[in-house]
Amino acid sequence: MAGCFSRGNKAKIGVIFSASPPDAPTWPHVGYDYERRAEELVSRLREAVPEAEFVYEVVYYASEWLRRFAVDKSKLHSLEDVKRILSEEMRSVVGFVVWYLGLWSAGIAQAIAETGKPVVLVDDVFCGSGEFILSYAWLRGRGYRVAGVASSNFSDVARKVRLLYVLHKLRNLRIVVVRRDFPGWFDSYEKALSEALGSKLIRVTVDELRGEYEEADMREAREVAERWVSGAKSVEADEEEVVKAARMYIALKKLMRRYGAEAITVDCFPPGHKGLPAYPCLGFFQLLNEGYIATCEADLDSCVTQAAVQFLTGRPGFVSDPVIDQGRGWIIYAHCLAAAKVYGRDGATMPYRIRTHSEERAGAAVQAYWPVGEPITTVKFNVAQRAMSIHSGRIVANVEDERACRTKVAAEANVDAILVRWEPSFGWHRVSVVGDYRNDFIDLARLLGFRVIEEDKPT
């Protein structure tokens, strides 16, 4: 669902079906055809998550009590067999799915979790339910990177398994970072990002960006500008500023193509002070609409969070400066751009205006209008601390106020709790997406081994 510069092969995911000896009197029942059930589930999984390649094995790793019922003991697996499967046949997987088809497997999930890779536990309802419940609780209590799902609705299972694909995408993520200079802390952040997620930063100077801007084809730039203007509710910015923004968009996209990146972030405000020839707001707006990741102010944590949002939901993240209004019970997400394709690049386009950038009343920026009545989920990664903040609400208004940034999306939320529980280490920026993805992001954080701060939960 990301843009056309997508890198890396399909996510390789290992699936271990935990089975009991077919002769054993246990759930689901004696004589159960585990092999056939596993083939059926993998077929459905491949259809539901086409972005992944699945390698699977039915493992008969039963307790001693159940082993004595096995007529053909040659089919039973030992712990050494399981370790061989994990280290040889599934060595290159991004993570594992442990799918309980029967009771009891004598702790197979622990053996798999001890590889250090993320694990999604799945209960085939009425088959491994008791062991699933106990194993999930045990592994979570000991801090393993694990998520779980027990549902007769297969889409719930696919949604959880797809989190492993998101981890694969983050591991292969390349981010172009444009700055005049790269301060000392940048090296430590780069190391922390590589260790936590596997993502790679590509350093690009402002001079290189300016060079691409100067070479941008003016005819193409005017065509892009005309498309933006024709789609807008109104245009306040000067025509030449919109054309300059289009040249910046062309330059940004060319840099991403050159370095095989899906994401870009620029130290961009104020542009003149940063050495930029134009505001990048409309360029970011366009890239987000196309399914890429584009982040203001060289905010690396927000950029990585935007990437996670895009990979998980197929929708663009809105980086904002949140404003609390306790009088109305609102949190207002404010910035001088937001995507109009809030449901993804193939979805409907929301209304927008082309205006000047608010603080300087100059250049060209975007006031976007997000859909009232929709749920909204807001997250932020702190890569260095391996933590994630999250809160959620419902969109109630697009605020018209000449103060502060142009786009102002207001949501009803537990703002009293958010104000008290706001964690300064995450900074001011947050990243919002249309839709209720709270549980998905919490599970993604667990699979990453990140601590979760639910900002809107009462203390």
Residues 248-285: tens digit of each pLDDT: 999 999 999 999 999 999 999 888 889 999 999 999 99
Domain end (from 147, 170, 193): 170
User: Beta-carbon neighbour count of residue 106 at 10 Å?
Assistant: 16
Tokens representing residue 5 in the block: 């510069």
Query: Above 80 in pLDDT, residue 245?
Result: yes
Which position has the token pair 């084809």? 217
- 157 shares its domain with 180: no
Q: Do 122 and 217 belong together in one domain? A: no
Residue 1 lies in a domain: no
- Same domain, residue pair 51 and 136: yes
Q: Based on the domain organization, do 241 and 387 belong to the same domain?
A: yes
Q: Are 421 and 290 in the same domain?
A: yes
Q: Average pLDDT, stretch 54-68?
A: 91
165 and 246 inside one domain = no
Answer whether residue 3 is part of any domain: no
Q: Note the pLDDT tens digit of each residue in 166-225.
A: 999 999 999 999 999 999 999 999 999 999 999 999 999 999 999 999 999 999 999 999
End-to-end CA distance of the chain: 37
The CATH number of residue 136's host domain is 3.40.50.10940
Q: Does 2 reside within a domain?
A: no
The pLDDT tens digits of the residues spanning 418-432 come to 999 999 999 999 999
Regarding whether 387 and 243 lie in a shared domain, the answer is yes
User: 303: domain range?
Assistant: 173-454
Residues 383, 385, 386, 388, Cα dihedral to 10°: -80
Instruction: Note whether residue 5 is domain-resident.
Output: no
Tell whether 183 and 158 lie within a shared domain.
no
In a domain, 306, yes or no: yes
Q: What is the mean pLDDT of residues 364-376?
A: 98
CA 22 to chain centre: 40
Task: Indicate the residue among 145, 170, 195 that finishes a domain.
Answer: 170
DSSP labels, 253-322: HHHHHHHT-SEEEE--SSHHHHT-SS--HHHHHHHHHTT-EEEGGG-HHHHHHHHHHHHHHSS--EEEEE
Do 162 and 273 share a structural domain? no
Which has the closest alpha carbon to 263: 293, 306, 304?
293
Q: Are residues 122 and 91 in the same domain?
A: yes
Q: Which of 136, 170, 204 is the last residue of a domain?
A: 170
Q: Which of 307, 312, 332 is nearest to 435 (CA)?
A: 312
Q: Is 47 helix (H, G, I), strand (E, B) or coil?
A: helix
The pTM of this model reads 0.96
- CB neighbours of 101 closer than 8 A, spacing ≥ 6? 17, 18, 19, 20, 28, 32, 34, 37, 38, 58, 124, 127, 128
Structural domain count, the chain: 2
Contact in structure between 92 and 64 (CB atoms under 8 Å): no
Is 6 among the domain residues? no
pLDDT, residue 459, reads 72
∠ CA 276-281-285 to the nearest 5 degrees?
Answer: 140
- In-domain check, residue 370: yes
Instruction: Give me the amino acid identity at 323.
Output: V
Residue 327, exposed/middle/buried by CB under 10 A (0-12, 13-18, 19+)?
A: exposed
Same domain, 417 and 300: yes
